[in-house]
Amino acid sequence: MIHVNQKDLLFILNQHHDHDLMTLNTSCQQAIDLELEHKPQVYTTRLIVLDFLCRQLQPNAPLLNWALCFIGQRYCLTSILFADPSFDSFRQKIFHQCFNLLETEAYRDLQTHRLLYDLLSDLRMPSCAWLLEIEASLHMQYQYCLQQCEQILENQVIRPSLCTLHGQQWIENIPSNIMAKSVSIQIRLALYQELQPVEMTPLLKHLKQMKTYEPRECFQLSSSFRQFIQVTPLLLSSFNNEIDSMTEQFFAADEKLEALCLDEALLKELKQQPFPIHSFSMDLLNECFQILGSVPSRFMPHITLINISLMQTFLQFHHNQDITWDECCRLCDSAWGHAFASLLDRAMFENCPASESIMIRSLAKLCSCSILVYHLLDIQYSKQLRIQLWKRYSDHRTLFIQSFDHDDTTTSNNNNSSATNNNNNIKKRHSLARDLTIVQRLLFT
């Protein structure tokens, strides 16, 4: 066998476009084997290989999957990443890059997704490393802004006299540049303004005085939709009660939930069209779909009734429209899927179990609303979309919870402390299993 020395390795890596993956793989392994055989004090060859591998962990990199596969081999993990503390910084760097790739590459290619998941699991990074990446992630920072937005607006509705405090919280937690770009935040603000005008006026006035909110520069509900949404259907109260009842069924069931118990009398009323609509506008339906993707928990039942009525009306006027009923149903399903995705993203890295999560509770309410929509309109949800949402949540959630198993407890000489940590990790694993069961039930019932 011809061994590849360091000089040969550098040439091959610099000219990697001229070599096939098998040559690249073999050259890296042989160079590492040669260094291991001579046991040098400085791990030059392995550092060269690691640097090359890290440079491949980039979006759209042609050798991305090869690099993920090479790093994930037990050979590479034991011979390099876990061989000596001097490689810890590279292990951290690889983890950082893989975490970022989850948001850009993982769901474009199934092979990339599988390799990323396996490698993140094999890196065995502790929970503190995960929490640092989550905190630094721009995507998760935005999800945090959405969560704070809803919480502040909800607090304002409950305690409108505290508008100054809520205004300060808004300024501290929702940067003006994010608000200016985020239609989702603007939609939430518009809905609260329209449906809770008395409570919201003091806060909006305060935000305008602080030059944080300028209505002319934000998303505004159309005049048609505002007239529509101000009508409170007689069955909204009973519909709210039904949604609450369905939501509780999700959390009460210990085993797989085969079917929800629905109020047949209410279903009969809903088929009569909750909102009386005498003409139809596709623009109005598209606006409803856009709002549906960002609807706060408080207004889910109200917007759901509007969605049902507009879809029912579409059936009456579809012959005058540019799209078919099937295309309309796909638009509707996409809007619901967008709403599911936002809540799942905010829930996947929570420290509390799903049964105590405000986000999962909101997701259950959203799923209850969607079930009634799909049932009443006799349409099917996209299984592929739901599976994608499920895979994203379950994979991220599993990796995050497992990271608590990798927390370093060896520094403690206290056996009681170690036992406590082990018990906490066991509880977290049990919590993970319950989390996945609840979310799977929500998405596929």
Q: What tens digit of pLDDT does each residue of 342-395 get?
A: 899 888 888 888 878 889 999 999 999 999 999 999 999 999 999 989 988 999
Please name the residue ranges forming H helices in 378-414. Answer: 383-402
Residue 303: other Cβ atoms inside 10 A: 20
When comparing pLDDT for 428 and 343, which is higher?
A: 343
* pLDDT tier at 167, thresholds 50, 70, 90: very high
Is the four-CA dihedral 326, 330, 335, 340 of positive or negative sign? positive
When comparing pLDDT for 41 and 273, which is higher?
A: 273
Q: Does the structure show a pLDDT above 60 at 3?
A: no
The fraction of the chain above a pLDDT of 70, given in percent, is 87
CA–CA separation, 22 and 307 (whole Å): 55
Q: What is the pLDDT of residue 2?
A: 44
pLDDT (mean) for 398-405: 88
Q: What is the pLDDT of residue 192?
A: 96
User: In terms of Cα–Cα distance, which of 345, 356, 293, 336 is closest to 134?
Assistant: 345
* pLDDT tier at 437, thresholds 50, 70, 90: confident
Site of tokens 């909110």: 213
pLDDT (mean) for 300-309: 92
* Nearby residues of 439 by Cβ (< 8 Å), 6 or more positions away: 344, 347, 354, 360, 363, 390, 393, 394, 397
* pLDDT tier at 1, thresholds 50, 70, 90: very low
Q: State the chain's mean pLDDT as an integer.
A: 85
The residue type found at 122 is: D
* pLDDT tier at 5, thresholds 50, 70, 90: low
Q: Does the structure show a pLDDT above 50 at 267?
A: yes
- 8 Å CB contact between 185 and 293: no
Site of tokens 């037990």: 74
CA–CA separation, 326 and 332 (whole Å): 10
Residue 218: other Cβ atoms inside 10 A: 17
pLDDT (mean) for 325-334: 92
Q: How many Å separate Cα 183 from the centre of its chain? A: 17
CA distance readout (Å), 7 to 4, 15, 26, 79, 178: 8, 13, 15, 20, 49
Q: What is the pLDDT of residue 259?
A: 63
CA distance readout (Å), 235 to 72, 188, 216, 241: 57, 24, 34, 10
Of the chain, the end-to-end C-alpha distance in Å amounts to 59
CA–CA separation, 55 and 63 (whole Å): 9
* pLDDT tier at 253, thresholds 50, 70, 90: low
CB neighbour class for 74 (10 Å; exposed up to 12, middle 13-18, buried from 19): exposed
279 SS3 class: coil
1-10, 96-105, 190-199, 214-223 — which is least confidently predicted?
Answer: 1-10
- 8 Å CB contact between 270 and 258: no
* pLDDT tier at 229, thresholds 50, 70, 90: confident
The fraction of the chain above a pLDDT of 90, given in percent, is 41
DSSP conformation class of 408? -
The count of C-alpha atoms lying within 13 angstroms of the C-alpha of 431, restricted to the half-sphere facing its C-beta, is 21
pLDDT (mean) for 238-247: 90
* pLDDT tier at 409, thresholds 50, 70, 90: very low
Rounded to two decimals, the pTM is 0.85
When comparing pLDDT for 181 and 253, which is higher?
A: 181
Q: What is the pLDDT of residue 84?
A: 78
- 8 Å CB contact between 282 and 323: yes
DSSP conformation class of 86? G
* Nearby residues of 151 by Cβ (< 8 Å), 6 or more positions away: none
* Rounded CA Rg of the chain: 27
